[in-house]
Amino acid sequence: MNTLRFARIASGLLALGAALDLSAQVVFNANGTYTQSFDSLPFDTATQLTWTDNSTLAGWYAAPTPLANAYVSRNTNTGSPSGSDLYVYADPLNAADRAFGSFTSTSASSSIFYGVQLMNNTGHVLDSVSISFALENYRGGASAGDLLLASFGLNNSDLLSGSWTPLASLNYTDISNTLSLSALTWNDGDSLWIRWEDTVFSAGTNPKNAAFGLDNFSVTAIPEPSTYALILGVATLGLVGFRRWRAQR
């Protein structure tokens, strides 16, 4: 093989590697929308599963370790998760419909955090996004005193460091949620983190913690980047028309 041919093959492989690497990340692409059903998560009630950041679910992270090292399955909404951990939950009536979440026991020493990192790859600065998700409870009789705190950050290095802005304080009765982020300067190539903190609830003589499960998560740019293209297209057409009108006079 001559040197030039080898160099071409090597650069081709490098380009392929870069493309594959990019596809493994969660990017906010030209459609301006990211959705996650959590239905791809493995579910096995008999096996303790291993959680790996940005791998078990691309773009999703959990902390702190060792809580983030494992998650267990649960397929009933009347059971009692007994260990503080990440959980994969399955709808009792449709096991293919999974949810992702957590449970913190009253003896837990700290909250459990989890969230998603989205990279803006739209080519535009986004200043407003809409976040929606369902919040399911997989433990019967959970107390409303248990809270799941939603927050966001830009370009944080991980799930625990950096600056976080509170978004919402949720309990198990907040089944359907739509949160709006406005006055955001989410530059092209920057990362938006959205995270949830499952707090430790220990008030009362017989506290019951919620087993929080996230489902049907989506993030949508407002307006969608395709709208920018449409607006630019209409403006360009208008300019062309104006020039033609002037040229004819």
Distance of closest approach, residue 45 Cβ to Ca ion, in angstroms: 17
- Is residue 197 at the binding interface for Ca ion, with CB under 5 A as the rule? no
Q: Using CB under 5 A, which of 122, 198, 213, 225 touches Ca ion?
A: 198
Query: What is the rounded CA–CA span in Å between residue 76 and residue 26?
Result: 30
- One DSSP character per residue, 150-200 reads EEEEES-SSSSSS--EEEEEE-TT--EEEEEE-S--B-TT-EEEEEEEE--
Q: Using CB under 5 A, which of 25, 37, 54, 171 touches Ca ion?
A: 37
Distance of closest approach, residue 146 Cβ to Ca ion, in angstroms: 4
- Residue type present at position 193: W
- Is residue 209 at the binding interface for Ca ion, with CB under 5 A as the rule? yes
Q: Using CB under 5 A, which of 104, 117, 137, 151 touches Ca ion?
A: 104
Query: What is the rounded CA–CA span in Å between residue 23 and residue 27?
Result: 8
Tokens (6 digits) for 202? 């220990």
Query: What is the rounded CA–CA span in Å between residue 13 and residue 178?
Result: 43
Distance of closest approach, residue 53 Cβ to Ca ion, in angstroms: 21
Q: Using CB under 5 A, which of 215, 217, 219, 221 touches Ca ion?
A: 215
Name the residue nearer to Ca ion (CB basis): 2 or 82. 82
What are the residues binding Ca ion (CB under 5 A)? 37-39, 97, 104, 146, 198, 209, 215
